[in-house]
A and B are shown apart, each in its own frame.
With several copies, the nearest count.
Chain A
């Protein structure tokens, strides 16, 4: 138990006179049930015949001793101690009315059953862990060739799948988007056309912004027009159709038709 801080690993528990003293190493226990099981085992081999009252006494004595030694016990242990103290008091009461007799005995019984169940699962765990285990006792083939299954995927779909998929998505999309007004944009094609037309007129360096604003009457189109003609001008410059010039960042961009000679060189 990590919660249990143990200064001294071993100590002698407080025992009733005449009974043999024993040592318990708290560090090795996995909680109060585990401790109870250990105490019960010392009492008798057969768990079905242990005395719960005696077990409660031993446990409480253990906890008392631990306290004397200033051992810090985890909450789990203390809760169990409180419960056992309660159980002990009930078991020690002189014969109470019928209903209550069963209560105390029933509680004791339930505890005995829990202990037996833990014992059983531990026995099972031991049997399990002691089986010949792969990689420890028995070994698979060290270097299997392996069976290479080259699986060629064969895709299947029916015409119905195809058609219903088409209908589904086109209907969904039509409903979702048909009412949207198309955005007013100046396409790249438009921009390129305009630039080509402009280049026919101008052999001189022209300010891009200048003619742009002149061309686009509708102020709403300005952003789109600027973006599109900028892209188009870059593309045309790459094609060697025009030349571009800019003095510095954010300065106006000038353009002109490429001289005939350089155009033929590029081609």
Chain B
């Protein structure tokens, strides 16, 4: 130990015990909010130099992963600033599609462009909003446009991300009825007239589709009004 340090120790005889450090440490740690120096002092024996205690604690924690910091005159422990990267971490969580979602996806892929009502008609059960949302989130389906029909329902189709994920070069590579049967995916007899459509994901809208954002004939008539409403 150097002369200066010895001198330092002699001069600055600490006004606290190791137990005081433990008490201050536990108090700040357990507190739900940053602690005032006076709140710490209140729990220590009279005459303790709280400033010196906190300085010593601060020194002990200075190089650790956790630091004792003072903000707005109050004490708190914080993780060291250089550890921030640890505390927010992107994690990719693999999720399996639900049966409803995968069936919905399959119908969209083969029958696109389809509306929600079309999917329900094919599946024979209601399509939950969740299934569509999940497929949108996965980036596998997109809203193509609107069907020119009452209610102007949205039409859905697949995306290029869909093709990439499922290793398809083009939507036409989806197997047809013969191939599906050959792969043993159908069991038993199929009813006469049963067919699998030829899928088509071309960007161009079909004759019965209109763009998403454009108003239909109904809105055209009331153009000014409906725009005000939408706003």
A and B touch in the complex (CB under 8 A): yes
Q: Contact: B94 with A156, CB < 8 Å?
A: yes
CB distance from B64 to the nearest CB of A (A): 13
**A160-176 interface bits toward B, Cβ cutoff 8 Å, 1 = contact, 0 = none:** 01111111111111111
Q: Which of B5-13, B48-56, B75-83 touches A? A: B75-83
Chain B residue numbers with a CB within 8 Å of A125 are 102-103, 105-106
Chain A residue numbers with a CB within 8 Å of B32 are 142-144, 146-147
Knowing A128-B109, A146-B31, A238-B218 are in contact, say whether A139-B91 is a contact too (CB < 8 A): no
Interface residues of B in 147-194 (CB under 8 A from A): 150, 164-168, 174-177, 179-180, 183, 185-187, 190-191, 193-194
CB distance from A78 to the nearest CB of B (A): 13
Cα A262 to Cα B66 in complex, Å, equals 76
B97 within 8 A of A: yes
Q: Contact: A157 with B27, CB < 8 Å?
A: no
**B87-127 interface bits toward A, Cβ cutoff 8 Å, 1 = contact, 0 = none:** 11111111111011011011101100000000000111110
CB distance from A101 to the nearest CB of B (A): 19
Q: Contact: A166 with B110, CB < 8 Å?
A: yes
Q: Contact: A33 with B94, CB < 8 Å?
A: no
Q: Which of A56-64, A115-123, A212-220 touches B? A: A115-123
B73 within 8 A of A: no
Q: How large is the interface on A (under 10, 10 to 19, 20 to 34, 35 or more residues)?
A: 35 or more
Q: Contact: A161 with B97, CB < 8 Å?
A: yes
**A130-153 interface bits toward B, Cβ cutoff 8 Å, 1 = contact, 0 = none:** 011111111111111111111111
Q: Contact: B150 with A153, CB < 8 Å?
A: no
Chain A residue numbers with a CB within 8 Å of B90 are 150-152
A1 within 8 A of B: yes
Knowing A173-B122, A267-B221 are in contact, say whether A162-B92 is a contact too (CB < 8 A): no
- Output the residue of B100, B185, B187, B193 with the most chain A CB within 10 A: B185
CB distance from A177 to the nearest CB of B (A): 7
Contact of B187 among A114, A123, A165, A231 (CB under 8 A): A114
Q: How large is the interface on B (under 10, 10 to 19, 20 to 34, 35 or more residues)?
A: 35 or more
Q: Contact: A235 with B185, CB < 8 Å?
A: no
- Output the residue of B76, B102, B164 with the most chain A CB within 10 A: B102
A178 within 8 A of B: yes
Chain A residue numbers with a CB within 8 Å of B125 are 1, 30-34, 76
B213 within 8 A of A: no
Chain A residue numbers with a CB within 8 Å of B123 are 30-31, 33-34, 118, 169, 173
List 5 A–B pairs whose Cβ atoms lie within 8 Å, in order of A's numbering: A33-B124, A131-B175, A151-B90, A166-B185, A171-B186
| Apart from A125-B105, A267-B221: 11 A-B pairs, beta carbons within 8 A | A32-B125, A116-B183, A116-B185, A124-B177, A141-B77, A142-B32, A151-B92, A152-B92, A153-B95, A173-B123, A231-B150
